[in-house]
Amino acid sequence: EEMYQYIFDLTRPDYREGKRDLIKDGNVAVSIYFLLKGNCRFYYYSKSYKQELNPFLMLSPCILAEGRSMKKNCVARFSIEVSAGSVVYILDKAGLSAIESKYSEIGICINDLIKEQIQDFKLWKRRLKTRSPEHRYSKLKHRRPEVEQQSARKDIAGHLGIRDTSLSRMVRRLSK
Protein backbone atom coordinates (compact mmCIF):
# COMPACT_ATOMS: atom_id res chain seq x y z
CA GLU A 1 0.00 0.00 0.00
CA GLU A 2 2.76 2.44 0.98
CA MET A 3 4.74 1.59 -2.17
CA TYR A 4 1.78 2.24 -4.47
CA GLN A 5 1.05 5.56 -2.78
CA TYR A 6 4.71 6.55 -3.14
CA ILE A 7 4.65 5.78 -6.87
CA PHE A 8 1.29 7.49 -7.36
CA ASP A 9 2.55 10.61 -5.58
CA LEU A 10 5.45 10.83 -8.05
CA THR A 11 3.18 10.78 -11.11
CA ARG A 12 1.03 13.57 -12.47
CA PRO A 13 -2.02 13.37 -14.72
CA ASP A 14 -1.84 14.58 -18.32
CA TYR A 15 -4.84 16.90 -18.53
CA ARG A 16 -4.42 17.77 -22.21
CA GLU A 17 -7.54 17.12 -24.26
CA GLY A 18 -7.90 15.27 -27.56
CA LYS A 19 -5.44 13.27 -29.59
CA ARG A 20 -1.89 14.19 -28.64
CA ASP A 21 1.75 13.16 -28.93
CA LEU A 22 3.42 12.08 -25.70
CA ILE A 23 6.79 11.54 -27.36
CA LYS A 24 7.80 12.99 -30.72
CA ASP A 25 10.52 11.38 -32.84
CA GLY A 26 13.59 13.60 -33.00
CA ASN A 27 13.07 14.90 -29.43
CA VAL A 28 14.61 13.53 -26.25
CA ALA A 29 12.09 11.61 -24.13
CA VAL A 30 12.01 12.92 -20.56
CA SER A 31 9.19 10.81 -19.07
CA ILE A 32 7.45 7.49 -19.14
CA TYR A 33 3.68 7.30 -19.35
CA PHE A 34 1.05 5.07 -17.81
CA LEU A 35 -1.89 4.65 -20.21
CA LEU A 36 -4.84 3.73 -17.99
CA LYS A 37 -7.64 4.17 -20.53
CA GLY A 38 -7.72 4.50 -24.29
CA ASN A 39 -5.14 3.58 -26.88
CA CYS A 40 -2.01 4.84 -28.52
CA ARG A 41 0.06 4.27 -31.59
CA PHE A 42 3.81 4.24 -32.09
CA TYR A 43 4.95 5.62 -35.44
CA TYR A 44 7.66 7.58 -37.16
CA TYR A 45 7.54 9.95 -40.10
CA SER A 46 9.75 9.20 -43.07
CA LYS A 47 10.86 12.33 -44.89
CA SER A 48 11.94 10.29 -47.91
CA TYR A 49 8.54 8.58 -48.18
CA LYS A 50 6.62 11.65 -46.89
CA GLN A 51 4.39 9.44 -44.77
CA GLU A 52 4.09 7.73 -41.43
CA LEU A 53 5.66 4.31 -41.22
CA ASN A 54 5.22 1.39 -38.84
CA PRO A 55 2.12 2.48 -36.92
CA PHE A 56 2.01 0.06 -33.98
CA LEU A 57 -1.20 0.10 -31.95
CA MET A 58 -1.36 -0.50 -28.19
CA LEU A 59 -4.40 -0.57 -25.93
CA SER A 60 -4.61 0.30 -22.25
CA PRO A 61 -3.48 -0.52 -19.65
CA CYS A 62 0.21 -0.23 -20.50
CA ILE A 63 3.44 1.66 -19.87
CA LEU A 64 4.68 3.82 -22.72
CA ALA A 65 8.29 4.86 -23.12
CA GLU A 66 11.14 5.35 -25.52
CA GLY A 67 13.56 3.86 -23.03
CA ARG A 68 16.71 4.30 -25.11
CA SER A 69 16.01 8.00 -25.57
CA MET A 70 15.23 8.56 -21.91
CA LYS A 71 18.05 6.51 -20.37
CA LYS A 72 20.79 7.64 -22.78
CA ASN A 73 19.53 11.19 -23.34
CA CYS A 74 19.40 10.76 -27.13
CA VAL A 75 16.64 11.58 -29.61
CA ALA A 76 13.57 9.33 -29.79
CA ARG A 77 13.35 7.03 -32.79
CA PHE A 78 9.55 7.12 -32.93
CA SER A 79 6.53 9.10 -31.77
CA ILE A 80 3.81 7.95 -29.39
CA GLU A 81 0.35 9.42 -29.90
CA VAL A 82 -2.62 8.77 -27.61
CA SER A 83 -6.23 8.95 -28.71
CA ALA A 84 -8.78 11.48 -27.53
CA GLY A 85 -10.29 10.52 -24.18
CA SER A 86 -7.19 8.65 -23.05
CA VAL A 87 -6.27 8.75 -19.37
CA VAL A 88 -2.51 9.15 -18.96
CA TYR A 89 -0.24 9.63 -15.96
CA ILE A 90 3.30 10.93 -16.37
CA LEU A 91 6.41 9.86 -14.47
CA ASP A 92 9.49 12.00 -15.15
CA LYS A 93 13.13 10.88 -14.95
CA ALA A 94 13.58 12.16 -11.40
CA GLY A 95 10.50 10.24 -10.25
CA LEU A 96 11.68 7.06 -11.97
CA SER A 97 15.11 7.41 -10.33
CA ALA A 98 13.47 7.91 -6.93
CA ILE A 99 11.35 4.77 -7.40
CA GLU A 100 14.36 2.75 -8.57
CA SER A 101 16.41 3.79 -5.53
CA LYS A 102 13.65 3.17 -2.97
CA TYR A 103 11.99 0.12 -4.59
CA SER A 104 14.52 -1.49 -6.90
CA GLU A 105 12.12 -4.33 -7.76
CA ILE A 106 9.63 -1.81 -9.21
CA GLY A 107 12.32 -0.17 -11.33
CA ILE A 108 13.30 -3.62 -12.63
CA CYS A 109 9.63 -4.42 -13.32
CA ILE A 110 9.12 -1.17 -15.28
CA ASN A 111 12.27 -1.81 -17.31
CA ASP A 112 11.15 -5.40 -17.98
CA LEU A 113 7.75 -4.17 -19.20
CA ILE A 114 9.41 -1.70 -21.55
CA LYS A 115 11.71 -4.45 -22.88
CA GLU A 116 8.65 -6.69 -23.36
CA GLN A 117 6.98 -3.96 -25.43
CA ILE A 118 10.11 -3.73 -27.60
CA GLN A 119 9.91 -7.49 -28.16
CA ASP A 120 6.19 -7.19 -29.01
CA PHE A 121 7.07 -4.49 -31.54
CA LYS A 122 9.75 -6.68 -33.15
CA LEU A 123 7.35 -9.62 -33.29
CA TRP A 124 4.67 -7.38 -34.84
CA LYS A 125 7.12 -6.21 -37.53
CA ARG A 126 8.06 -9.82 -38.30
CA ARG A 127 4.39 -10.83 -38.54
CA LEU A 128 3.71 -7.99 -40.98
CA LYS A 129 5.96 -9.88 -43.39
CA THR A 130 4.89 -13.45 -42.62
CA ARG A 131 1.13 -13.37 -41.89
CA SER A 132 -1.80 -12.28 -44.00
CA PRO A 133 -3.79 -9.16 -43.05
CA GLU A 134 -6.82 -11.40 -42.39
CA HIS A 135 -4.83 -13.52 -39.97
CA ARG A 136 -3.43 -10.46 -38.17
CA TYR A 137 -6.91 -8.91 -37.95
CA SER A 138 -8.44 -12.11 -36.53
CA LYS A 139 -5.67 -12.38 -33.92
CA LEU A 140 -6.05 -8.72 -32.94
CA LYS A 141 -9.84 -9.05 -32.55
CA HIS A 142 -9.44 -12.26 -30.57
CA ARG A 143 -6.85 -10.80 -28.16
CA ARG A 144 -8.45 -7.35 -27.85
CA PRO A 145 -12.15 -7.42 -28.88
CA GLU A 146 -12.54 -3.78 -27.76
CA VAL A 147 -10.05 -2.55 -30.36
CA GLU A 148 -12.72 -1.39 -32.82
CA GLN A 149 -14.53 0.66 -30.18
CA GLN A 150 -11.32 2.25 -28.89
CA SER A 151 -9.40 2.85 -32.12
CA ALA A 152 -9.86 4.76 -35.34
CA ARG A 153 -10.21 2.54 -38.38
CA LYS A 154 -7.14 4.12 -40.02
CA ASP A 155 -5.07 3.27 -36.93
CA ILE A 156 -6.22 -0.36 -37.00
CA ALA A 157 -5.48 -0.53 -40.73
CA GLY A 158 -2.03 0.96 -40.16
CA HIS A 159 -1.36 -1.59 -37.44
CA LEU A 160 -2.30 -4.35 -39.87
CA GLY A 161 -0.06 -2.87 -42.58
CA ILE A 162 -2.91 -2.08 -44.97
CA ARG A 163 -4.95 0.96 -46.03
CA ASP A 164 -8.25 1.74 -44.29
CA THR A 165 -10.19 1.08 -47.52
CA SER A 166 -8.64 -2.40 -47.67
CA LEU A 167 -9.60 -2.96 -44.04
CA SER A 168 -13.21 -2.00 -44.78
CA ARG A 169 -13.37 -4.46 -47.68
CA MET A 170 -11.73 -7.19 -45.61
CA VAL A 171 -14.13 -6.69 -42.67
CA ARG A 172 -17.14 -6.85 -45.03
CA ARG A 173 -15.78 -10.02 -46.65
CA LEU A 174 -15.05 -11.69 -43.28
CA SER A 175 -18.48 -10.81 -41.86
CA LYS A 176 -20.31 -12.67 -44.65
pLDDT confidence bin for 49, thresholds 50/70/90: low
For 65-88, write each residue's pLDDT tens digit.
877 777 778 888 888 888 888 899
Q: Is 144 exposed, middle or buried (0-12, 13-18, 19+ CB in 10 A)?
A: middle
3-state SS of 135-162 is HHHHHHHHHCCCHHHHCCHHHHHHHHCC
Mean pLDDT score, 35-63: 74
pLDDT at 95: 92
Whole-structure pTM value? 0.76
Lowest mean pLDDT among 90-99, 104-113, 134-143: 104-113
